[in-house]
Amino acid sequence: MYAMLFESVSKRFVMGHDRARSFQDLMLRTLRPGSHTPREILWALKDVSFMIERGEAVAIVGRNGSGKSTCLKLMTRILTPTQGSVDIQGRVAGLLELGAGFHPELTGRENIYLNGALMGLSRREIAHRFDEIVAFAELERFVDAQVKFYSSGMTMRLGFSIAICVNPDILLIDEVLAVGDQSFQEKCLERIEQVRANGVTIIFVSHALETVRALCERVIWLDQGQLREDGACDVVVDDYVAAVHAHEEVAVE
């Protein structure tokens, strides 16, 4: 049984600077038709197919802008594919990019309830897990402080803690661990290992290749939106490192 199935998925973005962003802008553009620039289209993902089995730990690697975050957003249904189809089996939770979805004016406690509700938990379920979430994030002293007074590491701790405590079937992590201090990073990795052992599917985006090697058995390498390689962790990471070095050498020359 699979957890995630991508079938020839493509995602197209229309670059923002070519479009009127306000009515004022729209009016100016209609008045001066000569100023029209052709729409610039960007394929963030192009014809990407893969299947992730239930319980697998998969990393996605690739250079900046290669489409990793876009991939994860498709996995949560935040984005919908332009072409192809994405099939998700199970509850997805995760941390997408830096800055969890917190409201700075609300307290940690209020944000936990808000985030839990966004993820589809009932009040009772959140109340049930509340202490666990706070304890894991080690933020007991700060739950009733507004999140705007949190450090970025503390915000990330809380976000990670919520994501992992809602018992998802599929856990997505996009680069966020880097903000945590050493001890919290280790604690997170330990916890990820633990939920993995319980059969949770892990999809991990990181530029920290050592962590990727430690955590995942399979790696998907994206290159300019295309799937370059998909296979055993050591093989793909080695190829990826080699390609990055080759690229650097070309750049130096």
Partner 1 sequence: MRGLLLERSDQQRTATTLFDRVAEVIHRRELLGVLVSRDLKLRYKNSVLGFLWSLINPLLLMIVFTIVFTIMIPDLHVPNFPVFVLCGVLPWNFFSTAIISSIPSISGNGHLIKKVYFPLEVLPLSTLLAHLVNFLLAFIVLIGMIVAFGIPLTVNLLWLPLVILTQLLFTGGVALVLSTTNVFYRDTGVIMEVLMQAWFFLTPVFYPLELLPEMTVVRGIELPVQRMVYILNPMASIIASYRAILYGSTLGSPPHAPALDFFARTLVTAALAFIVGLWIFNRYRERFAEEV
Ligand X SMILES: Nc1ncnc2c1ncn2[C@@H]1O[C@H](COP(=O)(O)OP(=O)(O)OP(=O)(O)O)[C@@H](O)[C@H]1O
Question: Residues interacting with ligand X, by CB under 6 A?
Answer: 13, 15, 42, 44, 62, 64-70
Judged by CB under 8 A, the stretch of 22-30, 51-59, 208-216, 219-227 that binds partner 1 is 22-30
Q: What are phi and psi of 137, to 5 degrees?
A: -75, -10
Q: In what order do the strands lie in the sheet with 92-95?
A: 92-95, 170-174, 201-205, 57-61, 218-223, 226-232
Residue 66's binding partner among Mg ion, ligand X, partner 1, none (Cβ under 5 to 8 angstroms by kind) is ligand X
100 vs 216, beta carbon nearer partner 1: 100
170 vs 205, beta carbon nearer Mg ion: 205
Q: What are phi and psi of 54, to 5 degrees?
A: -60, 130
Amino acid at 104: P
Q: Which residue is nearest to ligand X (CB)?
A: 69
End-to-end CA gap in the chain: 49
Pick out residues in 55-84 that bind Mg ion (CB under 5 A). Answer: 69
Residue 64's binding partner among partner 1, ligand X, Mg ion, none (Cβ under 5 to 8 angstroms by kind) is ligand X
List beta partners, residue 202. Answer: 57, 171
List beta partners, residue 130. Answer: none
Q: Which of 27-55 are b and which e, b meaning 16 or more Cβ less than 10 Å from the residue's Cβ?
A: eeeeeeeeeeeeeeeebbbbebebebeee
Residue 79 touches partner 1, criterion: CB under 8 A: yes
Residue 15 touches partner 1, criterion: CB under 8 A: no
167 vs 226, beta carbon nearer partner 1: 167
The residue ranges that bind partner 1 (CB under 8 A) are: 13, 16, 19-26, 73, 76-80, 88-93, 96-97, 99-103, 105-106, 110, 113-115, 117-120, 122-123, 169
